[in-house]
Structure 1
Amino acid sequence: MRRPPKLPPDAKTQALREAGALHPHPETVRDDVFRSHPFFDPRDRVQVKYEMVRRHQVDGRPVTEVAARFGVSRQTFYQTAAAFEAHGIPGLVPKRPGPKGAHKCTEAVVDYVERWRAGEDVRPDEPLTAAVARRFGVSIHARSLDRAVARRKKKPHP
């Protein structure tokens, strides 16, 4: 089965991309309203998800039919419906994948790094990374520690 050509980039496409809401495969959205009315844009992932949930909850269409028309699995449909139920439209906005922060550089580690740099709790022959590993049981690159301390200095303190 041949897919239709991708839509050319324009200002809206760029805005959707920057917001993280650009649908990676708009050609998979086969719902009639997205093909027949210019208001409905298959490139807008948030609009597609909202309309998918609405089609089931308001129009009463079966989940399997709705999922197929919108190019997603039933599992994805249920996850989308749950996100909408819990958070409304903001729940439909895609989240950034991956870690959300430096999970090893806890506040306690950064506190220790600042004390170590101030000359407290220092062993003369032990580098900072080894001291952190000994004390906290985690291996953290020296540059990661530098960035964590720099982030803390940038934060406004109450």
Structure 2
Amino acid sequence: MARQSSTEDPKIGELRATRSLNPHPQAVTDEAFCGNEFFDARDVVQVKYEMVRRVRVDAVPVTESAAAFGYSRQSYYEAAAALDAAGLDGLAPAKPGPRGGHKLTAEVCVFAQELLDGDPALRAKDLVVPIEDRFGVRVHPRSIERALARFRGSTDETG
């Protein structure tokens, strides 16, 4: 994470820390964001919320609203869906990186479960080396526990 300089606006530092710093604030041309202290084009959550609100409350066409806030029509629909699904939290950019146990595929989970079925005394920490030896992936024991819980739940529902 970038360090905040002593001359940087504290709000920019906070927006950056919460991944809410708009990378293109200059693209926001909506009149409410020009010369109004309350509206801040640097705050991506506020920008996306206002973009969606303009369409839903002010009946501004999607294309016009998206353009005024520096986004595409597709981005508008993604923001609207995220707002509906998760509220304002849905408008904040997600943490970068993979989601879920991407190293722990179904094949790895089957292997781990077979080891556990063969020796109930084994624990997740005992599976790290066999998984690494067989599949070439190094995983944390807690990740194994979570993946097996998901795996068991998915096989219980279908089995």
4+ long deviations beyond 6 Å: 116-120, 150-153
1:21 is matched with: 20
2:63 is matched with: 64
Alignment gaps of 5+ in structure 2: 1-6, 146-159
Please say if residues 49 and 80 of structure 1, whose CA atoms lie closer than 8 Å, have aligned partners that are also in contact.
yes
Q: How does 1:10-49 map to 2 (within 5 A)?
A: 10-49=9-48
The 2-side partners of 1:39 and 1:119 are apart by 55
In the TM superposition, residue 46 of structure 1 has moved relative to its aligned partner by: 0.3
| 1:88 partner letter | G
In the TM superposition, residue 93 of structure 1 has moved relative to its aligned partner by: 1.4
Question: Per-residue displacement from partner, 1:23-76 (whole Å, max 9, x unpaired)?
Answer: 111111111110121110000000001001001100000011001101111000
Alignment gaps of 5+ in structure 1: 1-7, 121-126, 154-158
Please say if residues 83 and 92 of structure 1, whose CA atoms lie closer than 8 Å, have aligned partners that are also in contact.
yes
* Count, aligned residues: 129
Question: Per-residue displacement from partner, 1:65-91 (whole Å, max 9, x unpaired)?
Answer: 001101111000011011112221111
Identity of aligned residues (%): 43
Question: Per-residue displacement from partner, 1:96-126 (whole Å, max 9, x unpaired)?
Answer: 1331344224795499599499999xxxxxx
Instruction: Name the SS for the 1:88 alignment partner.
Output: helix
The 1-side partners of 2:80 and 2:92 are apart by 13
Higher-helix-fraction structure: 2
Larger Rg: 1
| 2:141 partner letter | V
Across the aligned residues of Structure 1 and Structure 2, the Cα RMSD in angstroms comes to 3.3
TM-score, normalisation: structure 2: 0.67
